[in-house]
């Protein structure tokens, strides 16, 4: 059995009605003949779109194959015991050239009952934001299901939604059940549970190139929505240079940000988990076991559980999201 090493995967490109060109112009990823690109799936265990290794001697093998073969050596014992041969996280880049639909995701319990799937808790890190960009996260007041239905049916759903001004570096944590949308002009890195279940609530009456409106999931959404009002929707964190700063921790993932201008080392030996790096700025080289793995803006890399320590070397500086399961 081959020894595991830092793994890169082939990007999966998704054409979306609201997608744009920033995947190409900002992240320098070529989506070929697609007219535009709304999402890239960078590391995925979703059955319809399983990632395939792009580097080293395991090139061409799928993430599902690796999990079956390496099990806890790839993801950690606790993770493997819980998730088995399903990789538990999905990592994406999202380019919203137009507003996404107003939507909500079910939690584990509802998703299991309806779809035999995991729920979808997620987080967003804003890589780049056009001036005046906004997004929606949650409600701007306490609502009941009846108030929500009345507002939706009378075309006034936007009146009760919480709109946030957004800048690069902003972080939003979105537990399952939170009504949300990514607004026009945002380029985002998303870390989420392995799930592709979205209930579309409102789509601004848009039509596709065939003149068709996209399907809505009005009834399905009712039981999924958290109707509570929260005083804070944006994640507060203190940005610091050359330190590991925690952004989000939840049962599904922990995500830190590393904003470094100098070399550093990371000891992952205490973690019973894989680690994912998502490079959102700059570039660096991972050194481990005498080998070097360059990583640049727009790239993701999976460090298997068997890698306990890495050196991160840089001349230009880097900013990465570091995710694992505690």
Catalytic residue annotation? 200
Q: What angle do CA 246, 257, 245 make, to 5 degrees?
A: 35
Q: Three-class SS string for the chain?
A: CCCCCCECECCEEECCCCCECHHHHCCCCCCCCCCCECEEEEECCCCCCCCEECCCCCCCCEHHHHHHHHCHHHHCHHHHHHHCCCCCEEEEEEEECCCCCEEECCCHHHHHHHHCCCCCCEEEEEEEECCCCEEEEEECCCCCHHHHHHHHHCCCHHHHEEEEECCCCCEEEECCCCCEEECCCEEEEEEEECCCCCEEEECCCCECCCCCECCCCHHHHHCCCCCCECCCCECCCCCCCCCEEEEEECCCCEEEEEEECCCEEEECCCCCCCEEEEEEEEEEEEEECCEEEEEECCCEEEECCCCCEEEEECCCCEEEEEEECC
CB 319 within 8 A of CB 280: yes
Token representation of residue 99: 């507003």
């Amino acid at each position: 059995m081959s020894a595991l090493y830092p793994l890169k995967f082939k990007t999966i490109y998704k054409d979306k009605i609201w997608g744009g060109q920033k995947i190409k112009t900002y992240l320098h990823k070529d989506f070929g003949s697609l007219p535009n690109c709304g999402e890239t799936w960078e590391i995925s265990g979703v059955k319809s779109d399983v990632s395939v290794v792009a580097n080293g001697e395991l090139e061409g093998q799928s993430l599902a194959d690796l999990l079956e073969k390496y099990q806890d050596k790839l993801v950690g014992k606790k993770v493997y015991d819980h998730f088995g041969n399903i990789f538990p996280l999905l990592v994406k880049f999202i380019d919203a050239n137009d507003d996404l639909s107003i939507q909500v995701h079910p939690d584990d319990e509802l998703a299991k009952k309806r779809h035999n799937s995991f729920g979808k808790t997620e987080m967003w890190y804003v890589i780049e934001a056009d001036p005046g960009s906004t997004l929606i996260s949650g409600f701007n007041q306490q609502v009941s299901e009846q108030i929500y239905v009345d507002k939706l049916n009378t075309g006034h759903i936007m009146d009760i939604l919480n709109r946030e001004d957004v800048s690069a570096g902003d972080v939003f944590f979105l537990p399952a059940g939170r009504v949300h949308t990514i607004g026009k002009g945002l380029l985002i890195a998303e870390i989420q549970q392995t799930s592709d279940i979205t209930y579309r609530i409102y789509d601004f009456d848009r039509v596709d190139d065939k003149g068709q409106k996209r399907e809505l999931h009005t009834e399905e959404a009712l039981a999924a929505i958290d109707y509570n009002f929260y005083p804070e929707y944006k994640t507060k964190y203190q940005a610091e240079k050359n330190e590991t700063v925690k952004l989000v921790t939840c049962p599904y993932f922990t995500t830190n940000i590393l904003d470094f201008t100098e070399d550093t080392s990371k000891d992952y030996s205490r973690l019973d988990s894989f680690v994912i790096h998502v490079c959102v700025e700059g570039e660096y080289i991972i050194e481990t076991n005498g080998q070097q793995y360059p990583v640049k803006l727009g790239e993701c890399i999976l460090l298997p559980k068997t890698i306990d320590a890495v050196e991160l070397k840089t001349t230009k500086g880097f900013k990465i999201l570091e995710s694992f399961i505690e």
